[in-house]
């Protein structure tokens, strides 16, 4: 089940990257690059930090195909997708929590401390979006708006906490996925955000 969600998530993230690339007036190659970086960047960074080789998309090159096709399809259907912005926010929320849980699973299998496991889950969830925003030359969304990284951290912590108390893995996955997903949607709907520090300087 989580694998299917993962495939949906990388496709949705690739499409979101493609739409931002279009707004920056990139060509189809740029669209494909930004879309792929958005979808697979977080997992790649996690694997490098953990020394987990080969990288996920190297071991499963079909992931590249999924993301490239999703990115180009989004570019070709950009006008329709623009009207479905709320649907993409929902898919992005699903991708965030799914990537966070998957990242925790992979990090836990490497035998690292639980705090590092949760951190790696967060990196898996948010780093693709960071790469997308950097490639598109704008301040990363995760650093300036509603709760995003916080949702990822709490999702990973909840998942690992459930496993620590011997909750069956499939149940822990479903609970963490549902709670994280609802939390992210609530953050979007109610515009929940961490406090912004301001100074008197211009």
Q: Residue 41 falls within a domain, yes or no?
A: yes
Q: Quick one: average pLDDT of 147-171?
A: 96
197, part of any domain: no
Residue 52 placed within a domain: yes
More confident residue, 22 or 82: 22
The pLDDT value recorded for residue 82 is: 62
Cα–Cα dist 179/200, whole Å: 38
Range of the domain at 149: 2-189
Query: What length is written for the chain?
Result: 202
Query: Could you tell me the two tokens for 32?
Result: 């494909």
Count structural domains, the chain.
1
Average pLDDT over residues 52-70: 94
Task: Identify which of 65, 69, 15, 13 has the alpha carbon closest to the alpha carbon of residue 42.
Answer: 13
Categorize the per-residue pLDDT at 151 as very low, low, confident or very high, splitting at 50, 70 and 90: very high
135, part of any domain: yes
Q: Is residue 78 part of a domain?
A: yes
Looking at residue 169, its pLDDT comes to 92
What is the rounded average pLDDT for all residues in the chain?
A: 90
- Give the model's pLDDT for residue 200: 63
Burial (CB count within 10 angstroms: exposed 0-12, middle 13-18, buried 19+), residue 20? buried
86 is written with which tokens? Answer: 């709320």
Enter the pTM of the model: 0.91
Q: Is 105 part of a structural domain of the chain?
A: yes
Tens digits of residue pLDDT in 5-31: 788 889 989 998 998 898 899 999 999
Question: 27 in a domain, yes or no?
Answer: yes
Task: State how far the alpha carbon of 65 is from the alpha carbons of 7, 71, 169, 191, in Å.
Answer: 11, 10, 29, 35
Q: Does 196 reside within a domain?
A: no
Q: What is the arithmetic mean of pLDDT over 48-53? A: 94
Distances (CA, A) of 192 to 118, 150, 183, 199: 22, 11, 10, 22
Q: Which comes out higher in pLDDT, residue 107 or 2?
A: 107
């Amino acid at each position: 089940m989580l694998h299917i969600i993962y495939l949906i998530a990388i496709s949705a993230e690739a499409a979101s990257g493609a739409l931002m690339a279009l707004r920056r007036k990139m060509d189809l190659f740029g669209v494909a690059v930004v879309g792929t970086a958005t979808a697979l960047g977080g997992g790649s960074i996690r694997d490098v930090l953990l020394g987990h080789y080969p990288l996920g998309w190297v071991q499963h090159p079909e992931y590249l195909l999924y993301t490239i096709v999703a990115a180009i399809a989004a570019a070709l259907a950009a006008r329709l997708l623009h009207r479905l912005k709320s649907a993409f926010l929902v898919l992005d929320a699903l991708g965030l929590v799914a990537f966070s849980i998957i990242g925790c699973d992979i990090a836990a299998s490497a035998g690292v401390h639980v705090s590092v496991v949760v951190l790696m889950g967060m990196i898996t969830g948010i780093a693709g979006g960071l790469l997308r925003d950097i490639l598109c030359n704008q301040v990363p969304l995760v650093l300036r708006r509603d709760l995003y990284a916080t949702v990822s951290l709490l999702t990973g912590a909840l998942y690992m906490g459930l496993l620590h108390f011997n909750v069956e893995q499939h149940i822990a996955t479903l609970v963490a996925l549902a709670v994280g997903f609802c939390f992210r949607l609530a953050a979007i709907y109610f515009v929940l955000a961490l406090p912004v520090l301001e100074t008197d300087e211009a």
